[in-house]
Amino acid sequence: MHCPFYFIISMTMNHPYDDFPNLLFSNNTATATSTSSCVEQHDGIISLDMDWDCDFHDLIESMMSDKGATTESSPVLPCYHGQEGISNSSSTGLSMADELDHDVEADESKGLRLVHLLVAAADASIGADKTRELTRVLLAKLKDMTSTNDRTNMERLAAHFTNGLSKLHKEANVQRQYGPHQHPDVHDRVDVMLAFQMLQNMSPYINFGYLTATQAILEAVQYERRIHIVDYDITDGVQWPSLMQALVSRNTGPSAQHLRITALSRATNGKKSVAAVQEAGRRLTAFAESIGQPFSYHHCRMESDTFNPSSLKLVRGEAVVINCVLHLPRFSHQPPNSIISFLSEAKTLNPKLVTLVHEEVGLVGNQGFLYRFMDLLHQFSAIFDSLEAGPARGFVERVIFGPWVSGWLTRIAITAEVESFASWPLWLATNGFKPVEVSFANRCQAKLLLSLFNDGYGVEELGQNGLVLGWKSRRLVSASFWASCESSE
């Protein structure tokens, strides 16, 4: 099978690495510019005589010069981090009163310092053995400076990243293994679900993916009598009630469309995931019954990472839809090979539609850990900023973001396993799938959804067959639609 790795889409990345300093520089030109001793890095050894106020741009440049990334000259775009926080934490945009200016400055220089430290720690953590001590020192300092209860976004985010890096660091001393990661702070199921719900109210992140995919499905199967959806990762089944409701409302009487969902579970995710899939089935069945939607549910276990389509039960005359929603905070590891296998094999089912929803992170192929780390930092800064303030925000951050960040850090550190596709859409396009256009109604719905939340969100078109949710200049989630090249329209 043609290996699609290492595609590099250079400028289609909306978050080119040279954008990264934009994240950090602010209007406030009072940033310390002392250049007495900048961070020098040779072979991963960072001088401990650091002047923490040195120009961050130089730091990036020196660290990146041998990584081949390009950096721009000092940009002056306003940074957006730190605008919304649990409290009304200061930022360049909002604060007007004089007495707050000092706090703004302090916040931002601290933010910069934190990023310095994080990047340095990340770099040190993958360095050769002699940097292990350095990593420990850096992480200790970070832990000292941050906490998940802090006032500003940057501090809290840095705390989560610090925790994630610490775990990586510890695990590096122990034999690394795949499989479900048991985080010491694993939260119980109720907390997770609560936090999940709250997250839906703070950001359109989750529902953008669900609703956009569902709308495309509805359009694709409009005239089908039987619909069969194969769901790669059903989570709690939250995507499907809205589909059922839509089906019920547009069909009356004998023209009811029959819906069948097959949810996959992967054995490597453990017994819990199997139980979750089964529970989702029960809930969905109950819901379907309550609204009168003909429905049946199946659970398909994947024993390994390869998907075998013959393990599905198929019914003649049904339209098959492949649903691959990958953007949710994942607590279990889903190696890209499993997804590739799933998509390739699923193609043989001749699906009417393939929906693909994924986060816009970790997608750049052939880049080193540090690049990916920064990309991740960038992504989560954007998400953090985009969340609406609310009383339960800290809770959501701890329950969902902490593990989410840790999971990602682990993923990108295991370089062999990282999703080094430039993008899933490209993979699909070159592996026998053709794009399916996004409808006007779908675009409308996306914009409407966004209007319910903070300003700063936007929807972009992704070619002809996709939509991307972004916050300010950062793409967050994209949804794209495909059909197999052989399927008849």
Q: Which residues bind other proteins (CB under 8 A)?
A: 86-88, 94, 96-97, 100, 149, 151, 187-191, 193-194, 197-198, 200-201, 207, 210-211, 214, 236-238, 241-242, 244-246, 249, 279, 283-284, 286-287, 291, 389-392, 394-395, 398-399, 437-441, 443-445, 447-452, 455-461, 464, 470
Minimum distance from residue 150 beta carbon to other proteins (Å): 8
Minimum distance from residue 448 beta carbon to other proteins (Å): 6
Q: Which is nearer to other proteins, 267 or 452 (CB)?
A: 452
User: What is d(CA 416, CA 57) in angstroms, rounded to the nearest whole number?
Assistant: 30
Q: Give the pairing type, strands 466-471 and 474-484.
A: antiparallel
Q: Is the dihedral of CA 218, 201, 193, 474 positive or negative?
A: positive
Minimum distance from residue 265 beta carbon to other proteins (Å): 17
Minimum distance from residue 425 beta carbon to other proteins (Å): 17
Q: Which is nearer to other proteins, 128 or 286 (CB)?
A: 286
Minimum distance from residue 104 beta carbon to other proteins (Å): 13
Q: Which is nearer to other proteins, 82 or 365 (CB)?
A: 82
| 102-109: long-range pairs with CB below 8 Å, 24+ | 104/28, 105/28, 105/30, 107/82, 107/152, 107/154, 108/26, 108/28, 108/31, 108/79, 108/82, 109/31, 109/32, 109/53
Residue 127: φ, ψ to 5°:
-75, -175
User: What is d(CA 139, CA 125) in angstroms, rounded to the nearest whole number?
Assistant: 10
Q: Which ranges of 181-239 does DSSP label H, i.e. alpha helix?
A: 189-202, 205-220
- CB 60, CB 20: distance < 8 Å: yes
Minimum distance from residue 215 beta carbon to other proteins (Å): 8
Q: Which is nearer to other proteins, 72 or 185 (CB)?
A: 185
- CB 478, CB 468: distance < 8 Å: yes
What would the two tokens of residue 443 be?
């675009």
Residues 6+ apart with CB under 8 A from 70: 17, 18
Q: Which is nearer to other proteins, 112 or 199 (CB)?
A: 199
Q: Which is nearer to other proteins, 271 or 313 (CB)?
A: 271
Q: Which is nearer to other proteins, 240 or 424 (CB)?
A: 240
Q: Which is nearer to other proteins, 25 or 210 (CB)?
A: 210
Residue carrying the six token digits 């009630």: 241
Minimum distance from residue 145 beta carbon to other proteins (Å): 16
What would the two tokens of residue 29 be?
């030109």
Minimum distance from residue 464 beta carbon to other proteins (Å): 8
User: What is d(CA 360, CA 62) in angstroms, rounded to the nearest whole number?
Assistant: 27
Minimum distance from residue 276 beta carbon to other proteins (Å): 11
Minimum distance from residue 441 beta carbon to other proteins (Å): 5
Minimum distance from residue 50 beta carbon to other proteins (Å): 30
Residues 6+ apart with CB under 8 A from 184: none
Q: Which is nearer to other proteins, 76 or 444 (CB)?
A: 444
Q: Which ranges of 1-85 does DSSP label H, i.e. alpha helix?
A: 20-24, 56-64
What would the two tokens of residue 445 be?
């719905």
Longest dimension (CA), the chain: 79
Q: CA angle 424-427-431, nearest 5°? A: 140
- CB 400, CB 185: distance < 8 Å: no
Minimum distance from residue 430 beta carbon to other proteins (Å): 23
Cβ neighbour number for residue 40 with a 10 Å cutoff: 14
Q: Which is nearer to other proteins, 30 or 452 (CB)?
A: 452
Helix, strand, coil: what percent of the chain each, to 5?
45, 15, 40
b/e burial code for range 395-425 (CB count within 10 A of at least 16 → b)? ebbbbbbbbbbbbbbbbbbeeeebbbbbbbb
Q: Which is nearer to other proteins, 168 or 462 (CB)?
A: 462
Q: Which is nearer to other proteins, 8 or 444 (CB)?
A: 444
